Amino acid sequence: SILLVIGVFLGSISAEFDELESLINEIDNEGTPLNPRRSVKANICEGHICGWGKECIDDGKGKPSCQCIRECPKLTNENDKVCATNNETFPTLCELYQQKCFCKQSKEQCKDSSYSKIHLDYLGECKEIEECTEEMMEQFGVRMADWLFQVMKELKKRRELHGIEWEQLINEAEHDDEKKHVYPVIWKFCDLDIKPHDKHVTHHELIPMTAFVIPMESCIKPFLESCDTDQDRSITIVEW
């Protein structure tokens, strides 16, 4: 199925999304004001990572500073479009977070002050998402566990299920219906709980999964929101 292909794809590019996550986590770093009279040193920003929608420049004191990116790369591929949490399509991820940066800092380039609170919702152009009915929601937990089980099996077959302990657990799960709906769920939590590794999964840590799946599985977002029973904007292993 398409979801299985996506699940395997997500498993195989986890390193790339680690980088994406580190960039997203840097989004709210304000940096310090730029002194335009100082020239940018050639290597001042080497190794200095800025979040999406920002770029590194000299702060005027010879130190790297993350400022709102002045111009995003011009991309024309339809696949580069992203849908923000306000249900508005942006041409690229860079332009979404560029506007977020402009608006958080009340820059004149800000097109709408509400952009200061938006985030990436999912990849691709915004579209009408199928309604998640009460019946679909009730079935979603089992459906998600089944999907994760199939993803684990496929990753094991490809020798991409990193960690011998996970291979042993999936072997057990293949012969035990109860474990089949428990082990894959725990595996995915551990897979997402990376930055920081604190036994909590935040909105940012969920992005590598939800950004791909939301357009095809309308219940994933409300389901994950319902998991956060204490509404502290993070999901513990117990809530998960």
Give the per-residue pLDDT at 208.
82
CATH class of the domain defined by 134-236: mainly alpha
Cα–Cα distance, 16 to 24 (Å, whole number): 13
Tell me whether residue 162 is exposed, middle or buried, using C-beta atoms within 10 angstroms of its C-beta: 0 to 12, 13 to 18, 19 or more. exposed
- pLDDT tens over the chain, length 240 residues: 445 444 544 554 444 444 444 545 554 544 444 444 444 445 788 888 888 889 999 888 889 999 999 999 887 788 899 999 999 999 999 999 999 999 999 999 999 999 999 999 999 999 999 999 999 999 999 999 999 999 999 988 888 887 778 888 888 999 998 899 899 999 999 999 987 888 999 888 898 889 988 988 999 999 999 999 999 989 999 999
pTM of the model: 0.71
Strands (E), 85-207: 89-90, 120-123, 200-202
Buried b (16+ CB within 10 A) or exposed e, 210-237: bbbbbbebbbbbebbeeebeeeeebbbe
Phi, psi of 48 (to 5 degrees): -95, 115
108-149: pLDDT as tens digits: 999 999 999 999 999 999 999 999 999 999 999 999 999 999
Give the per-residue pLDDT at 126.
96
Q: Are 84 and 90 in contact (CB under 8 A)?
A: yes
CATH class of the domain defined by 73-127: alpha beta
Give the per-residue pLDDT at 7.
52
∠ CA(38), CA(42), CA(48), 5° rounding?
Answer: 95
Q: Are 3 and 177 in contact (CB under 8 A)?
A: no
Give the per-residue pLDDT at 120.
93
196-213: pLDDT as tens digits: 888 999 888 898 889 988
Give the per-residue pLDDT at 42.
57
Domain ranges, ordered by start, for the chain: 31-70, 73-127, 134-236
Cα–Cα distance, 96 to 102 (Å, whole number): 10
Give the per-residue pLDDT at 34.
45
Q: Are 140 and 220 in contact (CB under 8 A)?
A: yes
Nearest to 83 by CA among 124, 55, 44: 124
The string of DSSP codes covering 194-208 is: -SS-SSEEEHHHHHH
Nearest to 183 by CA among 234, 211, 148, 139: 148
